């Protein structure tokens, strides 16, 4: 358990880097669930390879993010730690399911199925991403509630609120909550990096070995 806790900061830095990389590699910002079926199918026909690459990176980011929350749960302990594991597990499940659907759409479904079928599966993936984002926000809120540093606790709570708004915006991609999407993921990255740096600086330093005269 101690080893898991010590790996948390490194996992946080890795997750932050991979989230940025996945976002940058996402071709054209991705399709929208508000697009017509023909536009969604055309997106996958045009950007299939790049989308699959971004999805693979997103899968790695999800694994590292789960490691961050599991390390925090081990540190927090008790019923709150168990609740964090449940929330983080739900986030990973929904994220992996949504990413799996997207990878299938990019790999073959858009070629073999009509545009309406591709769009229907994309709608399912969008709703799964919505649930994943809400669960990530819940996980961040739980970690923040147990944080001792006031500034890091405040940052985590603001991040959690924006993630909740971003998750709800997935159901209405061009609605009023859509403006929260980029700030939410940006704050999540900042929260991960600052939490990782704080965790690394708080590590106990090994005692200097005595040198015989």
For 5-28, how does the pLDDT look when each residue is reduced to its tens digit (9 = 90+)? 678 889 999 999 999 998 888 776
Q: Whole-model pTM? A: 0.85
For 115-170, how does the pLDDT look when each residue is reduced to its tens digit (9 = 90+)? 888 888 888 888 898 899 999 999 999 999 999 899 999 999 999 999 998 888 76
Distance CA 166, CA 172 (A): 10
CA dihedral 115, 45, 94, 120 (to 10 degrees): 0
**Dihedral sign of CA atoms 27, 187, 159, 76 in order:** positive
């Amino acid at each position: 358990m101690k080893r898991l806790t010590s790996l948390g900061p490194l996992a946080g830095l890795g997750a932050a880097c991979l989230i940025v990389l996945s976002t940058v590699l996402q071709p054209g910002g991705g399709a929208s669930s508000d697009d017509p079926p023909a536009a969604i199918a055309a997106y996958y026909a045009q950007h299939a390879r790049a989308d699959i690459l971004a999805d693979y990176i997103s899968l790695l980011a999800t694994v590292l993010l789960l490691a961050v929350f599991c390390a925090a749960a081990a540190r927090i302990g008790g019923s709150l730690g168990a609740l964090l594991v449940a929330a983080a597990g739900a986030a990973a499940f929904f994220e992996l399911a949504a990413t799996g659907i997207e990878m299938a759409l990019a790999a073959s479904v858009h070629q073999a199925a009509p545009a309406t079928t591709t769009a229907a599966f994309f709608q399912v993936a969008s709703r799964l991403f919505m649930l994943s984002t809400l669960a990530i926000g819940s996980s961040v809120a739980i970690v923040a509630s147990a944080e001792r540093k006031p500034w890091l606790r405040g940052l985590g709570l603001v991040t959690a609120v924006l993630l909740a708004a971003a998750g709800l915006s997935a159901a209405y991609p061009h609605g009023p909550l859509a403006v929260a999407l980029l700030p939410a993921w940006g704050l999540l990255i900042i929260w991960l990096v600052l939490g990782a740096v704080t965790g690394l600086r708080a590590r106990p330093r090994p005692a200097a070995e005595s040198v015989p005269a």
